[in-house]
Amino acid sequence: MKGAQTKPLVISKYFVLSLFFSLPFILLLSLRPYYHRFSTATTNIPPSSDKSNSESADLKIRPGYTSYERYIKKQLNKTLDPKLRKIWTTRDWDRKIQVFSRFFDGLKGEGLISTESKALCIGARVGQEVEALRKIGVLDSIGMDLVPYPPLVVEGDFHNQPFGNNTFDFEFSNVFDHALYPERFVAEIERTLKPGGICVLHVALSRQTDKYSANDLYSVKPLKALFRRSTVVRVGKIDGFGLDTEIVFRKTTSTIQRS
């Protein structure tokens, strides 16, 4: 009778032990969806665009992004903020169009853009830049952002532009600081820009921008190094919504096909 009573206890002990040693595997299986999402989110970011490849003394990637998915989510928090979108489309609308029109009209006077140019504005939010380009006669213009704003802005990630090689004569952006992978950001510009095409970036040097920025830039040297198939036309000072420097590049070589 005593042996009959101890047998269930032995079986119970082995069951508990087996359950204990199985817990790591159960936990791993439960996390598989997260790892799958992480893997899927980063498939469009090639190994050559690892953050460490872009970092230097004058270009620092901000810490805290444990996955590309988390980075995109943070960027969307700003883009979809209803208060900001209301400001962008009402109070700021005319003011920003006037400022951008002045910038673009100056580039037009330098012969860097024309009414025949096909233009892209990267990170255009609600499209004030596009409207400004059309106002000065550059009618074939479109904006790109994570959230579309028809008819001025189409959906797209600047780390992986949804356009073919050699598409645009002119590309403009004032959101370089939002690039988690600066090398990829620039590579996509050079891929979609035609040989001889112009890229204009507005950036902030030597000071941090807003909390949504993914990198901090302290000189133009890292940018010059990242534009491997372009030459610098000029660098100048501006006063553009918290940004202080304008860098103009001209693409000089043909595009390497994206793998």
Kindly report, residue by residue over 110-157, the tens digit of the pLDDT.
Answer: 999 999 999 999 999 999 999 999 999 999 999 999 999 999 999 999
Judge contact between 93 and 128, C-beta under 8 A. Answer: yes
Q: Tell me the fold of 51-251.
A: Rossmann fold (3.40.50)
Domain range annotation of the chain = 2-41, 51-251
Kindly list the distances between the CA atom of residue 5 and the CA atoms of 1, 16, 70, 207, in Å, as whole numbers in the listed order.
7, 18, 55, 75
pTM: 0.79
How many angstroms separate the CA atoms of 180 and 50, rounded? 9
Q: What is the DSSP string of 211-257?
A: TT-SEEE-SSHHHHHH-TTEEEEEEEEEEETTEEEEEEEEE-SPPPP
pLDDT of 185 strictly over 80: yes
Strand partners, 245: 203, 237
Residues near 259 by Cβ (< 8 Å), separated by ≥ 6? 46
